[in-house]
Chains A and B, each alone.
Chain A
Amino acid sequence: MVVEQINGCIGCGTCVKVCPTDVFRLDSKSGKAIVKYPEDCQICHLCRLYCPVDAITITPEKSLPVIVSWG
């Protein structure tokens, strides 16, 4: 699985909204994000970068360095 762990999720739903391939869902019981369709992940890192509490960890071996414009 590419999304390795979700620790400390506050259930804001940002990852659900930003993921281009619709990998996440909010669990109705716990109110936290769950990886519903792991096979659809394209390793774009958007979920990790936009999670306000930095809860998402992506498998390091599968990660490419993220190129971000500076300034």
Chain B
Amino acid sequence: MKKLVEKYGFLWKSLLFVFVALMIYLLGDFPRRNALKETISLLTIISFILMINQFYLTRGFRFIDGKGRMSDIVRMHKLIGYLSVSILLIHPFLVVLPRQFEGGVKPITAFWEIISTYNNPAVLLGICGWAAILTMAVTSAYRRKLFKNYIKWRTFHGVLAIVSLTILGYHVLLLGRHSNLVMKALYLVLMAGGYVTIVRTYISDIRRGDKWRIRDSKSVEDSSLP
């Protein structure tokens, strides 16, 4: 047990974020519906929080993650990433699923109504965000075939993550059934923290790269000396 805690101790942030979101959900003044609808809502909230949490399961945070090894962090990053992306990808279909068991509008009609409504930007943002995370999932799955250079892959993945989460975040802030003021604040704080970390990591990468380039060029000059 102690070993397990040491190995996966870095997951404390993920658990904390999910716990805070669950508390807001439980204590907030939200209309409670039937078990299926509430389960779908909870799954979506947890998946979105875990998607933001992906920024915190990266190199930028390894120094405050205690004894966690980078390979374990990467393994968890992949597992949580694929799980939460899968749930977010089926989210548009899950939203209309309960209609199958009720009178009124049928799921297929409701789905068509949703994707053909552009009265406010929220649905369009949702569609763009959906396409962005699908791209992220596919490029991650085929990364070795698509990218020969690891640094290029990492930059592409990081930038796409920022773009996807920004679009999805805006969609959630505009449309989220449980996006009250406190939940919105949680999303914004976590996203801002994640963005700052990833940008800081990339900037330090570039600086380090420059240093190495200067050092390398110096050593080339030195080696050319007689």
The answer to whether A13 and B31 have CB atoms under 8 Å apart is no
Cβ of B177 under 8 Å from chain A = yes
9 contacts between A and B (CB under 8 A): A7-B177, A10-B117, A11-B120, A13-B119, A48-B104, A49-B102, A51-B105, A53-B95, A66-B103
- 8 nearest CB pairs, A to B: A49-B104, A68-B103, A11-B119, A31-B120, A52-B110, A57-B31, A52-B113, A31-B119
Taking A31-B120, A52-B113, A53-B95 as contacts, is the C-beta distance between A8 and B102 under 8 angstroms? no
A48 to B98 alpha-carbon distance, docked (Å): 13
Cβ of B30 under 8 Å from chain A = yes
Residue on A with the closest CB to B98?
Answer: A54
Chain A residue contacts of B114, Cβ below 8 A: 10, 12, 52-53
Cβ of B78 under 8 Å from chain A = no
The answer to whether B31 and A10 have CB atoms under 8 Å apart is no
A12 to B114 alpha-carbon distance, docked (Å): 7
Give me 9 other A-B pairs in contact (C-beta within 8 A), A10-B120, A12-B117 excluded: A7-B30, A7-B177, A12-B114, A12-B119, A14-B105, A52-B110, A54-B99, A57-B31, A68-B102
A11 to B99 alpha-carbon distance, docked (Å): 19
A53 to B176 alpha-carbon distance, docked (Å): 11
The answer to whether A7 and B120 have CB atoms under 8 Å apart is no
B75-101 interface code vs A (CB 8 A; 1 in, 0 out): 000000000000000000001101100
Residue on A with the closest CB to B178?
Answer: A7
Binding site for B on A (CB under 8 A): 4-5, 7-14, 26, 30-32, 46, 48-55, 57, 66, 68-69
Chain A residue contacts of B120, Cβ below 8 A: 10-11, 30-32
How many pairs of A and B residues are in contact by the CB < 8 Å rule? 66
Q: How many residues of B contact A (CB 8 A)?
A: 26
The answer to whether A49 and B31 have CB atoms under 8 Å apart is no
Chain B residue contacts of A14, Cβ below 8 A: 105, 113
**B40 shortest CB reach to chain A, Å:** 10
B168-179 interface code vs A (CB 8 A; 1 in, 0 out): 000000011110
Chain A residue contacts of B102, Cβ below 8 A: 49, 68
Residue on B with the closest CB to A51?
Answer: B105
A51 to B12 alpha-carbon distance, docked (Å): 39
Residue on A with the closest CB to B103?
Answer: A68
Residue on B with the closest CB to A59?
Answer: B31
Chain B residue contacts of A48, Cβ below 8 A: 104
Chain A residue contacts of B95, Cβ below 8 A: 53-54
A8 to B33 alpha-carbon distance, docked (Å): 14
Residue on A with the closest CB to B119?
Answer: A11
A4 to B30 alpha-carbon distance, docked (Å): 10
**A21 shortest CB reach to chain B, Å:** 17
